[in-house]
Chains A and B, each alone.
Chain A
Amino acid sequence: MSEAAPTSSGPTDAERDELRRHGIMLTSLEELCNWGRSNSVWPLQFGLACCAIEMMAASMARFDIARFGSEVFRASPRQADLIIVSGTVTKKMAPSVVRLWDQMPDPKYCIAMGACAISGGPFKQGYNVLKGIDRYIPVDIYIPGCPPRPEALLHGLMKLQEKIRGQGIFPTGDPRQAGAGRPSDCPVPEFGGHDLLPPQNPDLFHPPSLVRKEDS
């Protein structure tokens, strides 16, 4: 690397592309690591409702999630990189989902698939449905739909791959953490007498403040 290089981090993308055209491969450890991570995102074999049917369809031959390296649905959270929260999370189920997330090794990612996993969806005003899994675990990708088509899940997966490619190996300097500033372990909520305790993880979830406007 010459001293005239614009940054100290190495060749620019344009220079790298130019070299690749000439058959010279230049890479960094970070890029190599992200290339491997983003193309082998192993999801947890885990479904909650009708969205899981679409997830299964995405893994079958027609939609073929194997094109993105994510066909290896793992039955154990210890081997999974990605939890696809596919369906309605009831309050009775929520502690189990959070525990599964805690059991996954870093780097780990979460996709909230469908309206129910995002916000409770059509069941939001029910007493027994969690109003979005992002109240307890950090969500990387939200896929709207009821349920989302398999193409939408693949799109979400591609967006997740883009996100992984933009990350460093240890973005926070802590080898246990994959994302910037997010906790590796989330406290598992307890069953209370009337609701889950706590009703949300205060470190993660703050309801957006509703701005009211005057009718004109």
Chain B
Amino acid sequence: METPEQIRDRILARFPGASVAVVPNPGPAAQHSLLAGADLGREIATFLRDDPVLRLDYCSNVTGVDWPKQGFLEVVYHLYSMALRHGPVILRMRTADRADQVTLPSLTPVWRSCEFQEREVYDLFGVVFAGHPDLRRILMWDEFKDHPMRKDYVEPDDYEWEPTPHGDILAKARRHYPAPAAGAEGKGNP
């Protein structure tokens, strides 16, 4: 199979002016990935699917990544070719920010297997997929407002009782059960 650099160069030859970059993976897996711009994302995906050398006809996995310091959300697609038996090619797309510009092109029209997984990314990370046929929450209920897999998600304070708390749980338990005597803080076992 071609290296990500070769694929990037062929995409650039096919779509001049597209923003495509290789994101290196310095780890032992060395699975370098392609970072595609959101504007031509679906065209690039269609190219990867239909190109006779690549024929990446199967999207096995879609997941999201929250990058709070860098200030964007990222969606990662793992692509394989059933016909040519190679893969994966990893395709990434990034939103502009984490607040209101979180729209990315849906790749469900390209790979049907993305449908539920993009719904999951929408549910848990809050990425809005433009062109998705049925973009609803899939794991949480429809009335839910938060996106729980974001790093800054604040969970409901609903385990007020914990028999053996420690660490963060101990801090949480302390808020519910203040120390009975002054001076007990710090060395008291709850």
Contacts and interface: CB of A to CB of B under 8 A. Distances in A.
A194 B159 contact: no
B173 interface: yes
A92 B143 contact: no
Interface in B54-97: none
Given A125-B169, A128-B148, A215-B187, A191 B141 contact: yes
Given A120-B159, A131-B158, A212 B180 contact: yes
The prevalent SS among residues of B at the interface is loop
A210 interface: yes
Given A92-B140, A215-B189, A210 B173 contact: yes
Interface in A47-63: none
A154 to B, nearest CB: 27
Interface string A186-205: 00000111110001000000
Contacts of A191: 141-144
Interface in B104-131: none
Interface residues of B, number: 29
Interface string B124-168: 000000000000000111111110100001011011111000000
Contacts of A193: 143-146
Interface in A145-159: none
Contact of B140 (A124, A128, A199): A128
B190 interface: yes
Nearest to A127: B155
Q: How large is the interface on A (under 10, 10 to 19, 20 to 34, 35 or more residues)?
A: 20 to 34
A208 interface: yes
B190 A195 contact: no
Contacts of A67: none
A173 B8 CA distance: 79
A140 B100 CA distance: 49
Nearest to A195: B156
A207 interface: yes
B133 to A, nearest CB: 23
Given A212-B177, A212-B190, A214-B187, A125 B159 contact: yes
A21 interface: no
Contacts of A92: 139-141
9 contacts: A92-B139, A191-B142, A195-B156, A210-B190, A212-B177, A212-B179, A212-B190, A215-B187, A215-B188
Interface of B: 139-146, 148, 153, 155-156, 158-162, 169, 173, 176-177, 179-181, 184, 187-190
Given A215-B188, A215-B189, 12 more contacts: A91-B141, A92-B139, A124-B159, A127-B148, A127-B153, A127-B156, A128-B139, A193-B143, A194-B144, A207-B176, A210-B177, A215-B187
Interface of A: 91-92, 120, 124-125, 127-128, 131, 191-195, 199, 207-210, 212-215
